[in-house]
Structure 1
Amino acid sequence: MSLPDSLASRLRLPVVAAPMFLASGPELVIETCKAGVVGSFPALNQRSSEGFEAWLKEIQSALADFERSSGREAAPFAVNLIVHASNPRLEADLALCVKYQVPIVITSLGAAAQVIDAVHSYGGLVFHDVINARHARKAAAAGVDGLIAVAAGAGGHAGSTSPFALVAEIRQFFDKTLLLAGAMSSGSDVAAAQMMGADLAYMGTRFICTQECQVDSDYKQMVMDCCAEDIVYTPNISGVNANFMRPSIVAAGLDPDNLAPKKDIDFGAELTVDGDQQRAEKASGAWKAIWSAGQGAGSIDNCPGVAELVDRLAEEYLQAQQRGNQAFQIFETQWGQANVR
């Protein structure tokens, strides 16, 4: 595995609960970190930089209290920053990541040297999400510590490449931390990701259906009701190819099979500057009315608390490893007997 010791030693499972727009909040992050997997959230889930700072304080305080009371280290947390011209908060939010020394910064839509240098200045890690090998090479050259291979079937902004192909291509030139995203919902999926060459599994949709996720119950129920064929992959909702649940598109009054092209990137809110204050002027948006999920929704039919879910994932992960070891032993035995004959 290509994991920094500072990360590997603090994980119960090789899992990152992916940052999900409008879905990931402090409660979800805190509980995932306490359970031993990386919790994360997009900075833009808080509608101002001031609110973002308040969330950082809340998360750090809660995890410090947990470590004092339990005598155990929590898993590190991560913040997702949109590195794109459409995000006027990038500079302010990055400064807060430096101020509070956010352990892991996940960058999207641009691997910028100034962001990487800023995070490295205090010893933080930068993971960058990519959907193809070309983007991966650029991010690797920029000096990121890890790449998130967002393969076909992932929720949110996803690629269309098979995870087998994407991981294999990236591993030809990248030997640092590699995360894999795309329709993973069980502990056996985590084990499979590692067998393919990834270090960490990047799970989003599975964590939507937890008690601590801040989306409303209708969203969670829709995830549990949908299957892979209910997921629509289109650039015509947010301006970038992403996966959305067909029933939510229909509920918004749109035809999933005849969506009008969208010219601009929409992160669900129009951010404006008013003096030193940045605030959201738009309460709705593509991501508010139309809900994202990955193709892994088809295997999700329950909504436990995070602690229960991680316990289940850990058990499934160990069982998958045991099955794999047994299968290898069978083939090794058969091969040895064949050679003897």
Structure 2
Amino acid sequence: MFLVSGPDLVIAACRSGLLGTFPSVNQRTPEGYEEWLVGIRSQLTGADAPFGVQFSVHATNERLAADLEITIRHQVPVVITTLSISREVTDAIHSYGGLVFHDATNMRHARKALDANVDGIIAVCAGAGGHAGTLSPFAFVAELRPELRGKTLILAGAVGNGRSVAAAVAAGADMVSMGTAFIPTIESMAAQDMKEMIVASSASDIIYTDRVSGLHANFLGQTIPANLARPEGEFNVTEEISPKRWRDVWTAGHGVGPIDGIRSVQHLAEKIEREYREAVDCLTSADQAVEVNA
């Protein structure tokens, strides 16, 4: 989550049993990124969940070479790649035992990532915060699952609570990726005004537009100026990650509706687990009822 996820959120997530991740560019320099990695490792133990980092594999990402070298040197357990992927990157991460998961919004992107030997696909569906696809999660998962051949399928897009996690697993996903629900947490780097706006918003407030970066993404409509024009020229990662572009125009997904307060990551993780187990119990009870009626 650009300008949202940092060491405090990642550490709290991992301590709560969740795989915490952050974009490398949330630290404004490669040197700062390396300091974050050192700090995160120093706070985690073998009892905690692993952590991960995200970066854009794209020709216009001026940070790619430096961030990749630092990532390899510190042997970050999980790497999430966006926009593009290459066998060179996956081989480098695999060389020390790391895992690579690639964000894909459609089957074409997913197939390219699988050809590059990623360990799994994050199916970024309609309703996801930030850059998102337009496919229904049910349609995308059903089409993608047979092509993975045992690799991991992670579902993203309006997964905002434990019931959604259970639904994703029931639909065929192995894991889920959650972002919007963690923006209004105490440990998040998001501005207090952003946290409060997310708590007060509903799905109808989310606008899917390419006027912010040139690529379609979901944003809080209240923060998009009426006269904001789509950037001219080709998409450029370096321009995309400029803080001035996302500082005042805030991203969020369709899952904002059920968010009802600012909580600690631990409190939210416990809530998600409780809701998940309740949903699984309901599915089990329904299954048993079908067997009895049959």
Query: What residue in structure 1 maps to residue 270 of structure 2?
Result: 311
In 2, Cα distance between equivalents of 1:55 and 1:269? 23
Question: SS of the counterpart of 1:28?
Answer: helix
Query: What residue in structure 2 maps to residue 48 of structure 1?
Result: 29
Question: SS of the counterpart of 1:172?
Answer: helix
Q: Gaps (5+ residues) in structure 2?
A: none
Q: Is the 8 A contact 2:61 2:238 kept in 1?
A: no
Aligned residues: 292
Q: Is the 8 A contact 2:62 2:238 kept in 1?
A: no
The 5-angstrom pairing of residues 9-158 of structure 1 reads 20-64=1-45, 67=46, 73-158=47-132
In the TM superposition, residue 269 of structure 1 has moved relative to its aligned partner by 5.3
Pick one of 255, 265, 268 that aligns with 2:235. Answer: 265
Question: SS of the counterpart of 2:44?
Answer: helix
Q: What is the aligned-residue identity percentage?
A: 49
Query: What residue in structure 1 maps to residue 292 of structure 2?
Result: 333
The 5-angstrom pairing of residues 274-285 of structure 1 reads 284-285=243-244
In 1, Cα distance between equivalents of 2:255 and 2:240? 30
Q: Is the 8 A contact 1:158 1:243 kept in 2?
A: yes
Query: What residue in structure 1 maps to residue 247 of structure 2?
Result: 288
In 2, Cα distance between equivalents of 1:31 and 1:160? 31
* Letter aligned with residue 160 of structure 2: S
TM-score by length of 1: 0.83
Query: What residue in structure 2 maps to residue 220 of structure 1?
Result: 195
Question: SS of the counterpart of 2:153?
Answer: strand
Q: Is the 8 A contact 1:268 1:287 kept in 2?
A: no
Q: Is the 8 A contact 2:61 2:236 kept in 1?
A: no
The 5-angstrom pairing of residues 140-219 of structure 1 reads 140-174=114-148, 175-219=150-194
Q: Gaps (5+ residues) in structure 1?
A: 1-19, 68-72, 272-281, 336-341
Runs of 4+ aligned residues of structure 1 deviating over 6 Å after TM superposition are none
TM-score by length of 2: 0.96
Deviation readout 1:163-195 (Å, 9 max, x if unpaired):
000111111211310100011111111111100
Q: 1:237 to 1:228 in 2, by over 3 A?
A: same
Q: Is the 8 A contact 1:22 1:215 kept in 2?
A: yes
